[in-house]
Chain A
Amino acid sequence: VLSSVTSLTQSRQIDQLSTNPDIDVEKVLNSKRLYEWDRYVQCPSWGYPTEHAYYRDASSVDAALNIRIPVLALHAKDDPIISDLAVPYENFKLTPYVVLCATTSGGHIGWFELGGDRWYTKAVSAAIRGNGII
């Protein structure tokens, strides 16, 4: 991190800082978490007042209800990044187009089987192929 700070401060980009009120390079470089990055880069880039406003506006939770093609959603209940509480279980009961397939384990895009294959790769293939029955 230190070397990148140095390389950036040595570059002319740091001069742009004083003329650009929107992106604060120092804050971006000192940010440690994704939400800080979103706060200091995405918010000024897109005009959101807070990272929460960005997250609320960009969430796909309600867009799901406007979908009019068949969709299968795969989710693992022990996904450590996407909490089960972020998954709109009630929405899936309101639309005929989206079906949730939730496994008790699998993590975030993990689903490793013995031998190293990944379960979701077969689930994705089977879903889009309709497995030859449609």
Chain B
Amino acid sequence: MFGSVAIDFVAADETVPFLLKNNDHGGDASVQGQISLLDLAKSTTPPCSLNPLLFNGHLHTAYPALRKTEDVEIHYKRRVWESDNTAYPGQFAVDFVVDSPEPPLERDRSLPPRTHNFTEQEFADLQASDDSSPMLVVLHGLSGGSHEQYLRHALRPLVYGEGGWQACVINARGCSWSKVTTPWLFNARATWDIRQVVKWLRKSWPKRRLYAVGYSLGANILCNYLGEEGENCKIEAAVLVCNPWNLDVANSLLRTTWMGDNIYLARMGQWMKKLFERYGSALICHKSNTI
């Protein structure tokens, strides 16, 4: 088919089994018993048919910058957390998906669009719920945040309309207009904030099943976290989207091409410098005080 893209699945010969729903729960009568993770992935992953005008990876990557893409409305309420990590204290912001506020709230200029801080009462009410909705924890990419279009696009069908999911986005320290109070930002293996949030979610909503999705650098952090948790992981299942996996290899290969060095690494360097310009004082002043 025009624009049709091949999908390869790579997995071990045997992957973990899942119990299939029986017929009483709306499953297909012909499928009963167990299904392996690989077969599940093959049967649930939709066919991939992409815009044929975007004939290479650069065009797919740059498309949101080249052409105005659909606005995806997701509303958040933010809660700033104090880290419980004694080695790397500090604060970080978690944005919970909420319904569109009625009546609409005035834009809070200190936060990304469609984002407002929880009042204490609202946050207490949120926590008081005893529901069993599935809940998604989301980690964004380098220097991004809950406002990223790629992230909202995937959230919308889950959280609004008949979606039925709850969701929150953990903003990497210093990202998404969150304040930095310590001499460090995030890094690619900084798993302490997601660990703290998942513990809190598990305790606050014992009936909710927790899932996670990470994008790009957020996928790298999530993968590190899931590996560190091992057998004790409180997440049911996770999706890693465009994980860089091997950062040294990815970086070195980017440096070998003109586009990689002058477009991608330069663009990502610019994003980070913006963060530094915003938070340099916290990184530097605090550091000099502690030396």
Contact = CB atoms under 8 A, between A and B. Distances in A.
A130 B44 contact: yes
A111 B4 CA distance: 11
B132 to A, nearest CB: 15
Contact of A83 (B10, B12, B254, B280): B254
A10 interface: no
Interface string B63-84: 1000001100000000000000
Contact of A110 (B57, B227, B228, B291): B57
B276 A28 contact: yes
A93 B10 contact: yes
Contacts of A32: 266, 269
A108 B148 CA distance: 14
A129 B165 CA distance: 10
B57 A93 contact: no
Interface residues on A, range: 35 or more
A106 B51 CA distance: 9
A33 B42 CA distance: 39
Interface in B32-47: 35, 37-38, 40-41, 43-46
Interface in B233-277: 233, 235-251, 253-255, 259-261, 264-266, 268-269, 272-273, 276-277
A96 B14 contact: yes
B216 interface: yes
B11 interface: yes
Interface residues of B, number: 118
A133 B40 contact: yes
B223 A107 contact: no
Nearest to A45: B184
Contacts of B231: 68
A79 B243 contact: no
Contacts of A23: 283-284, 287
B249 A85 contact: yes
B134 to A, nearest CB: 8
Interface stretch (B20-28, B95-103, B108-116, B199-207): B20-28
A68 B230 contact: yes
Nearest to B248: A55
B237 A128 contact: yes
Given A33-B265, A34-B269, A127-B41, A69 B237 contact: yes
Contacts of A37: 269, 272-273, 276
A13 B248 contact: no
A107 to B, nearest CB: 3
A133 B185 contact: no
B27 A132 contact: yes
Interface in A48-65: 51-52, 54-65
Contact of A86 (B246, B280, B284): B246
Given A58-B187, A125-B154, A45 B226 contact: no
Contacts of B154: 118, 120-121, 124-125
Given A58-B224, A87-B246, A133-B35, 10 more contacts: A66-B230, A71-B237, A82-B243, A101-B9, A103-B7, A108-B61, A109-B242, A110-B54, A112-B51, A134-B18
